[in-house]
Amino acid sequence: MKVELLYFDGCPNWTVADERLTQALVATGHNDATVQHRNVATAEEAERLGFTGSPTIRIDEQDPFSTGSEQVGLACRIYATPDGLSGSPTMEQLVEVLS
C-alpha cells in the first residue's frame, strides 16, 4: 500500500492529518505502511501534482476524499466530517478508507 501526505508549509492542518493517519494505519493493521510526505512548494508543482489543498492524502495514488469539486493550488483543504467542516479527515474516516 502506497500512502502519501501532500501538504504545504503555510497550512497547519497537515500535522493533525499526519497524526490521525498514523493512528489509522496502526488501527487497520497497516503498521508496515510508510507515509511518504511531500511538501508542495510552488503553484507549478501543485498544478503538476493535481494538489487540491493541504493536507491531501493519497492511497495507492488515489484521493479517497475527493469530491471532484476541489481546486488545484496552494490552499488549506476543508473536509466534510460527521462533526462539520474540518481541516483534516477524522481518524474514523481514515480507518474507513484504509479498511
Give the angle 32-4-12 at the CA atoms, nearest 5°.
115
For 29-45, how does the pLDDT look when each residue is reduced to its tens digit (9 = 90+)?
Answer: 998 999 999 999 999 99
For the record, the C-alpha cell of 62 comes out as 488515489
- Which pTM does this prediction carry? 0.93
For the record, the C-alpha cell of 47 comes out as 498544478
Distances (CA, A) of 27 to 6, 24, 30, 40: 22, 5, 8, 28
Domains of the chain: 3-98 (3.40.30)
The pLDDT score that the predictor gives to residue 7 is 97
Give CA–CA dist 61/50, Å, rounded: 11
For 46-89, how does the pLDDT look when each residue is reduced to its tens digit (9 = 90+)?
Answer: 999 999 999 999 999 999 999 888 999 999 999 999 999 999 99
